[in-house]
Amino acid sequence: MGSEQITLFDLASQAPHTAWSPNTWKTRMLFNYKGIDYKTEWVHYPEIAPRFTPHIPPNDGEGQKPYSVPIVQFPDGTYLMESGKIAKAIEKKYPSPIVHLGSPIVHRVDGLVSKCLLAMHPNLLYKFSQVVLSEESYDYWVGKYTEKFDMPLDEYERQLGGEKSWVAALPYLIELTSLLKERQADGPFFLGKDISYADFIWAGALIFVKRVDENVFQEMLGRTGARDVHGRFFEACAPWMKRDSY
């Protein structure tokens, strides 16, 4: 084990464990791209707060959960939570290859992806609970969202899913497509030939949807109006998606 190895705490899934969370994928792809020495430790939802309360102050942002992954532990024993903060720390310590954290495209894509996934929740969350969520997390996670929506998740999908959900997500899909197209003559990424953290944000979302339901993933690509553009992008990001289980 290298003395400079970082520990990435990621959310467990149904066996065999493989990464699925769009938030932790941002960090995982960043590590993979930069060639950083790290290992993965899998945690279940009910374990997060008890495991990390002694090491990290809770999130204090509006609407944020007190504790959430990704969380990393650095070789000196210190912990850091939240993908944006982790990215800044990693970029400072490992500046090459650069991921253009300061580019306006990163903030713009992050906001669009968050809104897009939120709009797609009715088409994703029930399926996610059935095919991805670990047994150890199931009661905790489903209970939280059932309480939040005041209905079972399958009913949430019936009432708000389908075309309603796609209509809500469409403006964000169209804008993301427009941003990718702006530089497509130069390359498949948001900055053309240059890779940026914005790419990891959108690729992480695509991986999540694909992991939950291939049909929803394919329909999402179709709804963008530019399946080929997003397909090229996703394929170009493949080298940094290969390491997903350790």
Looking at domain 6-93, its CATH architecture is 3-Layer(aba) Sandwich (3.40)
Q: Is 33 exposed, middle or buried (0-12, 13-18, 19+ CB in 10 A)?
A: middle
Segments making up each domain of the chain, as ranges: 6-93, 104-240
Question: In the prediction, which pLDDT does 225 show?
Answer: 95
Q: For the segment 34-74, what is each residue's pLDDT rounded down to a tens digit?
A: 999 999 999 999 999 999 999 999 988 777 889 999 999 99
Q: For the segment 157-197, what is each residue's pLDDT rounded down to a tens digit?
A: 999 999 999 999 999 999 999 999 999 999 999 999 999 99
Q: What is the DSSP letter of 238?
A: G
Q: For the segment 203-221, what is each residue's pLDDT rounded down to a tens digit?
A: 999 999 999 999 999 999 9
Question: In the prediction, which pLDDT does 1 show?
Answer: 41
C-alpha span between 61 and 183 (Å, rounded): 34
The structure tokens listed for 215 are: 């049909």
Residue 89 phi, psi dihedral angles, 5° rounding: -65, -40
The structure tokens listed for 155 are: 């009913």
Quick one: which H or E segment has residue 73?
strand 71-73
Confidence of residue 15 (pLDDT cuts 50, 70, 90): confident
Is domain 104-240 classified as CATH 1.20.1050? Answer: yes
What percentage of the chain exceeds 70 in pLDDT?
A: 99
Q: Are 30 and 90 in contact (CB under 8 A)?
A: yes
Task: Output b/e per residue, 55-68; b: 16+ Cβ within 10 A.
Answer: ebeeeeeeeeeebb
What are the residues facing 189 on neighbouring strands? 192
